[in-house]
Amino acid sequence: ERMKRFRRHGQESQRERIKQELYGFNKTVEHGFPHQPSALGFSPSLQLLAIGTRSGAIKLYGGPGVEFMGLHDENAAVTQVHFLPHQVELVTLLDDNSLHMWTLRAHHGVSELLEIGHTLHTTTTPQLLSYPFSNFLFSFPHTLALIGLPCVPEEYGGRRSLEHVESLQENPVNPLQVLIGYGRGLMVIWDLDSQSAVKHIPATQQLESVWWMEDGGHVLSSHSDGSYCRWKVAGDDPQSEQEKSEVPYGHFPCKAISKIIHGGMPRASYGDRHCISVIHSKTHVALDFTSRIIDFFVIRDGPDHTGDPSALVVLVEEELVVIDLQTEGWPVIQTPYLVPLHCSAITCSHHVSAIPLKLWERVLSAGPWPMTGGQNLAPDPPQRDLLLTGHEDGTVRFWDASGVCLYPMYKLSTAGVFLTDSDPNDNLNQGTEGEWPPFRKVGCFDPYSDDPRLGIQKIHLCKYSGYLTVAGTAGQILVLELNDEAAEQTVEATVADLLQGQEGFRWKGHTRLEVREEPVTFPPGFQPFALVQCQPPAVVTALTLHSEWKLVTFGTSHGFGLYDYQQKNNVLVRCTLNPSDQLAMEGPLSRVKSIKKSLRQSFRRIRRSRVSLRKHHVNNAAKLQQANARLEAELAEMELAPVQRKIEPRSPDDSFTGLVRTLYFADTFLSDSSHNTPSLWAGTNGGSVFAYQLRLPPVERRGEDPVTAHPAKEIQLMHRAPVVGILVLDGHGSPLPEPLEVAHDLARSPDMQGSHSLLVISEEQFKVFTLPKVSAKMKLKLTAIDGSRVRRVGVAWFGSTRTDDYGESGLTVLTNQGDLHVVSLPGVKLQVQYPCIRREDVSGIASCVFTKHGQGFYLISPSEFERFSLSARCVVEPRSLVEVSSQTPSTTLPRAPPDGASVDRLHSLLHSEPQPSHCTFHDDHPNSLQLMSIIIVYLWSDVCFLTAVLQEIQKSLEVDQT
């Protein structure tokens, strides 16, 4: 007995070691466009782009694959981001009045983004208003007069008339001069050395923005009336002269130019547009963006980044747009990352691993990219992977998901097949020839679908044959093939009547989409050649393609069908509708209930509930509470978090018991143990499994001898839990290979000598049956253990980190609690469990898709996928190094380590009362690295506080100088 216990303990220890070599959970990278961006920054020296969000995230991007992410502890919006020039540090300002400093610190040869300090929790609302060139400036604007500022024109006398400090600009050729711009219009050039004003720029219009031109001799100012002015500031005259004043769009009432070359649109006609005007010589374009402009910057040529403009980078609320300023016509550059996944709302996803090179090259497209910062140290991807996303507007987008960058490869639109409700005159943004201003629409974000029936619900791609099938919201199933040339053709629909003549049912939902009768020209790429239309036109809930057999099977809430796309005819139509289920006849666009909640509706809830609660918008608090209350009520209705500890039998009268959840093809033993045969398996929401034996004549003879399907088996799970997965295991206990996988030498032939097993995965348990007898063999009860239900399941191969010769197949499982599990095959034993998604995150759980190698994706916002890995071996994550260039500009002074005592004293002052109202920090002094400044130009409302700070600075300077 003692020996048995010892042996068992040794086996368990060995199994634990193997599990550590196979499994490991990591959230690895976020793909897509940051949700609710709020600030933009750029470092010309590092060639890094930074984006801050309203949720407190800070994301850095360099060359493709160079990505970093940080998250502020404070739940506050990032309002501004600034890089310290020629350093690997950056500063962020949040709307809770706090400043944070970050650095890219090298560790084991890879850079990490780390927060190294924060300060300045003021009682006022600070705003970083600088646009630094070689120094770092910031201000806390209040209505205050300048200290020691003589010769202020009489019309600007007094504190109140100056208004707040609107802008700070440093002289690009003389870092000791700072331009201070006030809201009233007055601009003052302040000399940091003499602590005095050297020039006044007496603008009279309300100031919005200033730009000190690269020659240092001229300043551009933009104003609230849509005008901009050029001022000469070189020379000894203390009063600057206005050289040029222009209103780009005539003398109509105009919107304010909030940043120079931004804005200026006539209010009456174009008040709802978001524009940046680009003017060069006689070329004049008003770039019309898809959403509100957050910020923009220009990338310049040359080693010191002061040459000709090469690209315009614009951050808007829903996407990042980059304009090539060196190519005629100023085209948009295709971005390798930060692509708006939600151009149209994502409705489904499909992942395909190990794409053959031939198919890859036929789909791939590429483009230049001006951001080059950092070194991508991640190893080359071991294989080519595709992520396909279906969208509400009827498009399918192909993404290169092999590495860190989720790169757009190709877009397919299915709308051309159908007559839709769209009106060609709806788009008011399309400019006409000779129109003034000369609008040009840029960006791809378009949340408005021409017809919600076009929405893609299911996708299946065969990577070996190049056949693709997509299914939609109105019961449409398209079969497409890859063609390298454009083709004109008509797509005829084959109707599949899933009610099979049952009486007493009347469809109350949306109508089917009408197919175009005239030929349609399809561009090169995937082109539709066959169409099945389900009646009633309900959402397609399951879809599977078998390209070797030339068959497609599909299911809805009413039944399932089998279609021969070679002969374009139905092989099988089976009604699964429960006679008492009237709700299944109402359609998802007419009633929101249980399973019919679409991802699109979940996204709308997210948008409503994530309203930014700003301190000066008190009424938003009530709106946010209402949105959260609605969300909680809907979650309770959907029963996403059951509390039962045992499996409860479900009534056969429950709604949607006939809804088809999963479809599966298998070549296995269905009638007897000596003859294998093609088969089709279907699982429903009511715990039923239907198996059909298929007779497949050769493809060339199917015209005379059609494919047939005969009922073979039917299983009813005791507790009627929804069937979410079906899998056949061969004689070795391995999952059957995919169609054509063996033919392409990418999988071994299945073992047809030993007996096969059938694995039926319901929401509540994993149950193994023997074939062909279908007798219960073993099971794993998930719900009985922790009250969870299976929401997503996939088959994956887990390779060992210790040796390339060992690996195991397993089931990857996501529950309604947001937990991830790995279940071993063929023994169906629980191996590991990891928390991953918040259980309240309905959209995240519903959007999850697994890969064949233990990774996965789910939506953390309408525009972002979180990528994760359950495999210890297969991990795709950023590995980047960012270093400061060895070339340092002449305007940058050598740095010395700061005096710790002085830093601490100043730190304590900044946290004491009374708090500062105004300050500007200058970053060119040797003792400035960790402080971000020690020369304070202006201003505190409390003179005693200002005096104390100046004394500490003086002590610090004396220490450093000695």
Q: Give the span between the Cα atoms of 399 and 596, in whole angstroms.
A: 27
In the numeric block, the tokens 């791609």 are attached to 461
Weakest-pLDDT range from 351-360, 438-447, 551-560, 815-824:
438-447
Write out the residue range of the structural domain in which residue 176 sits.
147-272
Total domains present in the chain: 2
Q: Strands 855-861 and 849-850: what pairing? A: antiparallel
Most confident of 253-262, 403-412, 675-684, 784-793: 675-684
Taking 70 as the threshold, does the pLDDT of residue 381 lie above it? yes
Taking 60 as the threshold, does the pLDDT of residue 892 lie above it? no
Residue 821 — φ and ψ, nearest 5°?
-125, 155
**Mean pLDDT, to the nearest integer, of 747-759?**
93
**Mean pLDDT, to the nearest integer, of 864-882?**
96
Neighbouring residues of 347: CB distance < 8 A, sequence distance ≥ 6:
390, 391, 392, 455, 456, 457, 473, 598, 599, 600
Q: Give the span between the Cα atoms of 915 and 846, in whole angstroms.
A: 48
Question: For residue 457, what pLDDT is reported?
Answer: 97
Give the pair of three-digit tokens for residue 332.
């948009």
Question: For residue 606, what pLDDT is reported?
Answer: 47
pLDDT in tens, 140-156: 433 333 363 444 556 55
Taking 70 as the threshold, does the pLDDT of residue 260 lie above it? no
**Mean pLDDT, to the nearest integer, of 828-833?**
96
Q: Give the span between the Cα atoms of 443 and 316, in whole angstroms.
A: 9
* 689, HSE (Cβ side, Cα atoms, 13 Å): 24
Helix H or strand E encompassing 692: strand 688-695
The single-letter code of the amino acid at 756 is: H
3-state secondary structure string, 182-243?
Answer: ECCCEEEEEECCCCEEEEEEECCCCEEEEEECCCCCEEEEEECCCCEEEEECCCCCCECEEE
Looking at the DSSP assignment, which residues form a beta bridge with residue 689? 683, 715
Whether the link from the prior residue into 939 is cis, omega within 30° of 0, is yes
pLDDT in tens, 49-79: 999 999 999 999 999 999 999 999 888 999 9
Instruction: Name the 3-class secondary structure at 904.
Output: helix
The answer to whether position 811 is within a domain reads yes
The answer to whether position 259 is within a domain reads yes
The answer to whether position 561 is within a domain reads no
**Mean pLDDT, to the nearest integer, of 671-691?**
95
For the chain, the first-to-last Cα distance in angstroms comes to 80
Residue that finishes a domain, picked among 847, 879, 911: 879
Confidence of residue 588 (pLDDT cuts 50, 70, 90): low
Whether the link from the prior residue into 34 is cis, omega within 30° of 0, is no
Nearest to 187 by CA among 160, 205, 213: 205
Question: For residue 915, what pLDDT is reported?
Answer: 34
Instruction: For the chain, give percent helix, strand, coil, nearest 5.
Output: 15, 40, 50
Looking at the DSSP assignment, which residues form a beta bridge with residue 572? 562
pLDDT in tens, 405-442: 999 999 999 999 999 865 433 444 444 455 666 788 99
Q: Edge-to-edge, what's the strand order for the sheet holding 165-171?
A: 165-171, 174-182, 186-191, 196-202
The answer to whether position 580 is within a domain reads no
Taking 70 as the threshold, does the pLDDT of residue 959 lie above it? no
Nearest to 601 by CA among 637, 576, 570: 637
pLDDT in tens, 77-88: 999 999 998 899
Ramachandran region, residue 261 (left: φ > 0; alpha: ψ -120 to 50; beta: rest):
left
Cβ pair 127, 79 in contact under 8 A: yes
Number of H helices, E strands in the chain: 10, 59
CATH number of the domain residue 160 falls in:
2.130.10.10
Question: For residue 614, what pLDDT is reported?
Answer: 33
Weakest-pLDDT range from 55-69, 234-248, 545-559, 947-961:
947-961
Q: What is the DSSP string of 826-869?
A: TT--EEEEEE-S-TT-HHHHHH-EE-TTSEEEEEEETTEEEEEE
Cβ pair 927, 899 in contact under 8 A: yes
Taking 80 as the threshold, does the pLDDT of residue 721 lie above it? yes
Q: What is the DSSP string of 457-490?
A: EEEEE-TTT-EEEEEETTSEEEEEEEESS-EEE-
Q: Give the span between the Cα atoms of 309 and 300, in whole angstroms.
A: 4
The answer to whether position 846 is within a domain reads yes
Weakest-pLDDT range from 39-48, 413-422, 564-573, 713-722:
413-422
Instruction: Name the 3-class secondary structure at 362.
Output: helix
Neighbouring CB atoms inside 10 A of 145's CB total 16
Angle of helix 943-961 relative to helix 900-910, nearest 10 degrees, comes to 170
Between 768 and 366, the higher pLDDT residue: 768
Q: Edge-to-edge, what's the strand order for the sheet holding 110-119?
A: 78-83, 89-94, 99-107, 110-119
Nearest to 530 by CA among 509, 551, 511: 551
Cβ pair 288, 273 in contact under 8 A: yes
Neighbouring CB atoms inside 10 A of 111's CB total 24
Average per-residue pLDDT in the chain? 80
The answer to whether position 201 is within a domain reads yes
Taking 60 as the threshold, does the pLDDT of residue 639 lie above it? no
Residue that finishes a domain, picked among 855, 879, 903: 879
Question: For residue 877, what pLDDT is reported?
Answer: 94
33 secondary structure, DSSP code: P
Q: Give the span between the Cα atoms of 791 and 170, in whole angstroms.
A: 57
Burial level of 564, CB count in 10 A (0-12/13-18/19+)?
buried
**Mean pLDDT, to the nearest integer, of 93-110?**
92
Question: For residue 897, what pLDDT is reported?
Answer: 33
**Mean pLDDT, to the nearest integer, of 191-215?**
86
The answer to whether position 351 is within a domain reads no
Question: For residue 271, what pLDDT is reported?
Answer: 55
Residue that finishes a domain, picked among 247, 272, 297: 272
The answer to whether position 284 is within a domain reads no
Whether the link from the prior residue into 826 is cis, omega within 30° of 0, is yes
pTM of the model: 0.80
Q: Give the span between the Cα atoms of 682 and 713, in whole angstroms.
A: 11
pLDDT in tens, 504-562: 888 989 999 999 999 999 999 999 999 999 999 999 999 999 999 999 999 999 999 99
